[in-house]
Amino acid sequence: MTTPTSRAENAKLHVLDRFRKVNQTFPKTDEILGYESQGKKVFGWVCTYAPEEIIHAAGALPIRIVGYSHETDLEDGTAYLYVNNCSFSRSCLQLGLRGEYEFLDGVVGGSTCDGARRLFDLWRNYIGTPFHHVLTVPRKYTERAHNLYHDQVRQFHRHLEEFLDIQITDEALRHSIEVYNESRRLLKALYDLRKLSAPPITGAETMEVLNASFRMPKELFNDYLRELMDGLSTSGNSYEGRARLMITGSHLTNPEFIKSIEDTGGLVVTDELCTSTRYWSDPVVLDGDQTPLQAISKRYLNNFPCARMFPSDERFDRILNLARDFRVEGVISQIIKYCVPYAHDRPLLTEKLQAQGIPTLSLDVEHGTSGSGQIQTRVQAFLEMLESRQR
């Protein structure tokens, strides 16, 4: 298993328990319900192309709609979305159908993938959330695509203003950009610590932090994260493993999945997921005479790309850079069954990683899987193969 190096037991960081509590009680967390009890609005968003800063600048709380972070039957989700839609979408829908997101005042999505857009369609038809907005998200990075997306972002901004009967000012947007960029800076600093030969935090612990990042007010999250960074700098904690690993794929929110890999001895040092680097990695850059909305739309379309974007090399190059920066020895490509964009990319990405001497373990999983049993066996075999290469 991943082992502490400096002492028999690494110091316990209590702030991590606060992140865990948020995650364990989500969606109906004290933070969200407390926010709502003050008469403030809460909006759920699906997919990393939904610009959170605009919701935040409207004085509302943006939270990410996610499914169960553990294995469970998806009876309702499957009945409505059918078994060939990814278990992430079915899991989200099931939580919605069971009233777990009943506090939401609105839902915001994008035309990102078939699973997400159909989730949005069924949500609108069967779950009585008052506000719905879907953004057309181009699949290219051209100037034309940026103009189209900027137009979409402006439409969303206007729609939200109309719904809330308020004006979302540039000043409020600038403040929200600052809050969100601070969060991104802190998460980058956390990830930089994972570049160390013996990082002070495990991959599973990092996932607790990431999960909380989109489930609570950003200002509070930033406070917690600053506290964690302080704690890490003085804790002297350090971890080593049999091999330095990166996890790639779409959604992953179950820390137990990563823990099971780390229990086998792998050290997860970085990841390329909708719920990790793809969520936080790029800041909104306000420069020149750009309006805040222009800066926001530019950031969201140019951000660490999803497999939906064209050309795929943009994504592949970023993954190769991560692998180099974090000195990754092996990649675990976990793809949720029926996640077509990532499944299509897999042969091409595997080949590119192979060309860099980085082997890939491909795992087809269901959303929320804990990574026990067969998965652990396969990770074990993968680590043995990586070790044999080191000798």
Can you give the binding site for other proteins, defined by CB under 8 A? 79-82, 84-86, 89, 111, 113-115, 117-118, 120-122, 124-125, 134, 136-140, 144-145, 148, 151, 155, 307-308, 310-312, 335, 337-341, 343-348, 350-351, 362, 364
What are the C-alpha distances in Å from 105 to residues 22, 59, 263, 289, 344? 20, 13, 41, 34, 35
List residues bridging with 336 in a β-sheet: 365
Compare residues 184 and 310 and give the one whose CB is closer to other proteins.
Answer: 310
The token duo for 217 is: 């007010």
> And the tokens for 8?
């028999």
**Three-state SS for 251?**
coil
User: Measured between alpha carbons, how far is 300 from 281 in angstroms, rounded to an integer?
Assistant: 11
Smallest distance from the beta carbon of 367 to other proteins, in angstroms? 14
Least distance in Å: CB of 132 to other proteins?
9
The single residue listed with the structure tokens 């044999």 is 388
203-213 vs 14-25: helix axis angle to the nearest 10?
60
Closer Cβ to other proteins, 136 or 377, answer by number: 136
- Cβ pair 50, 109 in contact under 8 A: yes
Question: Of 310, 282, 312, 313, which Cα lies nearest the Cα of 298?
Answer: 282
Closer to other proteins by CB, 23 or 360: give it. Answer: 360
Looking at this protein, which amino acid is placed at residue 337? Answer: K
Q: How many CB atoms lie within 10 A of CB 84?
A: 12
User: Which is closer to other proteins, CB of 71 or CB of 364?
Assistant: 364
What type of residue is 65? Answer: I
3-state DSSP assignment of residue 249: strand
Minimum CB separation of residue 258 from other proteins in Å reads: 22
Shorter beta-carbon distance to other proteins: residue 28 or 158: 158
Instruction: Considering the complex, state which of residue 225 and residue 320 has its C-beta at the smaller distance from other proteins.
Output: 320
* Distance of closest approach, residue 51 Cβ to other proteins, in angstroms: 16
Shortest distance, position 343 Cβ to other proteins, whole Å: 4
Rounded to the nearest whole angstrom, what is the least distance from the CB of residue 138 to other proteins in the complex?
6
Nearer CB in complex with other proteins: 16/122: 122
Tell me how far, at minimum, the Cβ of 134 lies from other proteins, in Å: 6
Shortest distance (Å) from residue 345 CB to other proteins: 7
Nearer of residues 19 and 120 to other proteins, judged by Cβ: 120
* Whether 379 contacts 266, CB under 8 Å: yes
85 versus 176: smaller Cβ distance to other proteins: 85
Q: What is the spatial distance between Cα 14 and Cα 12, in angstroms, rounded to a whole number?
A: 6
What's the angle, vertex CA 346, arms to CA 344 and CA 352, rounded to 5?
A: 125
Q: Which segments of the chain does DSSP mark as H helices, in order?
A: 14-25, 30-37, 52-57, 75-81, 87-97, 114-126, 143-164, 170-193, 203-213, 218-235, 255-263, 277-280, 292-302, 313-325, 340-355, 374-390
Q: In whole angstroms, how close is the CB of 330 to other proteins at the nearest point? A: 17
